[in-house]
């Protein structure tokens, strides 16, 4: 079944609304389980912008060496928690760079500060059940990037309900505003954030920077 989603693009000159037909697998779960996935884009008009050693004494060498006990096979090992969204984020970045190459634009590289800002916004939307470029505390995408120490954010795309990198990129590339952000040749950096709501809905945030 083909669903229709409403896309909202916020720019420096006004508000534009368009309808987008989404592929059957791009569904955004809602309370009734029938809502279509949603995407939204926003752009900015801004441009790119030893430790001291104690030299007085030398350590006294030990006359005997003490062997450290070998760890028991029964001792638990600590593993770094798996990032369940790492593949989704990298998949989107790869697809973005493919589209940019086709359009004659340079590649964008993942920026840790933009990743932190984008991930924070996705988590906030998922936790507080809203969908907007403006956080509930009034911050814009550029505010969120600046809070992470990045002051050259130039655009943001958001989406909800898509379950794969391919699905969310299809949605964005079929919307003029989102496509413009992705193919902005002034962009040099990207930050992808993905978070899951308690009902399983994925919230996507894509941020671009000029340096």
Short-list 126, 114, 86, 119, CA closest to 189: 114
Q: What is the pLDDT of residue 73?
A: 52
Domain count, the chain: 1
Q: What is the pLDDT of residue 74?
A: 55
Q: What is the pLDDT of residue 98?
A: 99
For residue 108, give Cα distances in angstroms to 3, 7, 148, 188.
31, 24, 19, 5
Q: What is the pLDDT of residue 104?
A: 98
In a domain, residue 73? The reply is: no
Alpha carbon distance 114, 84 (integer Å) = 18
In a domain, residue 51? The reply is: no
For residue 166, give Cα distances in angstroms to 111, 133, 147, 177.
21, 22, 30, 18
- CATH value at residue 179: 3.40.33.10
Q: What is the pLDDT of residue 43?
A: 77
User: Is the overall model pTM greater than 0.75, yes or no?
Assistant: no
Q: How many CB atoms lie within 10 A of CB 55?
A: 6
Tell me which residues of the chain have a pLDDT lower than 70.
Answer: 1-38, 44-81
In a domain, residue 69? The reply is: no
In a domain, residue 119? The reply is: yes
In a domain, residue 66? The reply is: no
In a domain, residue 78? The reply is: no
Q: What is the pLDDT of residue 179?
A: 98
Range of the domain at 159: 3-45+83-209
In a domain, residue 93? The reply is: yes
In a domain, residue 26? The reply is: yes
Q: What is the pLDDT of residue 4?
A: 37
Q: What is the pLDDT of residue 41?
A: 79
Q: What is the pLDDT of residue 181?
A: 98
């Amino acid at each position: 079944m083909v669903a229709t989603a409403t896309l909202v693009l916020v720019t420096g000159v006004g508000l534009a609304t368009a309808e987008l037909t989404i592929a059957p697998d791009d569904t955004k779960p809602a309370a009734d389980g029938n809502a279509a996935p949603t995407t939204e884009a926003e752009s900015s008009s801004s441009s790119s912008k030893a430790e001291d050693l104690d030299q007085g004494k030398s350590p006294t060498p030990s006359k005997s060496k003490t062997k450290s006990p070998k760890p028991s096979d029964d001792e638990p090992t600590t593993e770094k928690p798996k990032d369940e969204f790492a593949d989704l984020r990298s998949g989107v970045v790869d697809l973005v760079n493919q589209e940019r190459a086709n359009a004659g634009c340079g590649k964008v590289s993942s920026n840790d500060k933009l990743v932190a800002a984008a991930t924070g916004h996705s988590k906030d939307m998922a936790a507080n059940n809203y969908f907007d470029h403006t956080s509930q505390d009034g911050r814009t995408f550029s505010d969120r990037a600046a809070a992470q120490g990045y002051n050259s954010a130039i655009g943001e795309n958001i989406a909800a309900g898509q379950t794969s990198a391919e699905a969310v990129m299809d949605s964005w590339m079929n919307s003029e505003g989102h496509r413009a952000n992705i193919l902005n040749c002034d962009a040099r950096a990207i930050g992808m954030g993905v978070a899951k709501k308690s009902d399983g809905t994925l919230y996507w945030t894509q941020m671009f920077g000029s340096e």
